[in-house]
Amino acid sequence: METNKQQADSLFEALQNDKHQLLVHLLSPIEREAITHKYSSFEYLLNSTKIQISHQASKQLKQIALIKIALFTQVLNDSALYLVGDDARVQMFLDTPIEYHHFRTRVFHTLMQNDCYTMRHVIEHGRRRVAHFRNLGKAGMQVLNDLLKKHECDFLFV
Which tens digits make up the pLDDT trace of 105-130? 999 999 999 999 999 899 888 888 99
Question: Domain 87-156: which topology?
Answer: DNA polymerase; domain 1 (1.10.150)
Mean pLDDT score, 10-28? 65
Among the ranges 23-37, 74-88, 90-104, which has the highest mean pLDDT value?
90-104
3-class secondary-structure state, position 134: coil
Residue 85's pLDDT band (cuts 50, 70, 90):
very low
- Has residue 9 got a pLDDT over 60? no
The mean pLDDT value of the chain amounts to 80
Q: Examine the pLDDT at 70 and tell me if it is beyond 80.
A: no
Q: Where are the domains of the chain?
A: 4-78, 87-156
Sign of the Cα pseudo-torsion (68, 119, 4, 129, in order): positive
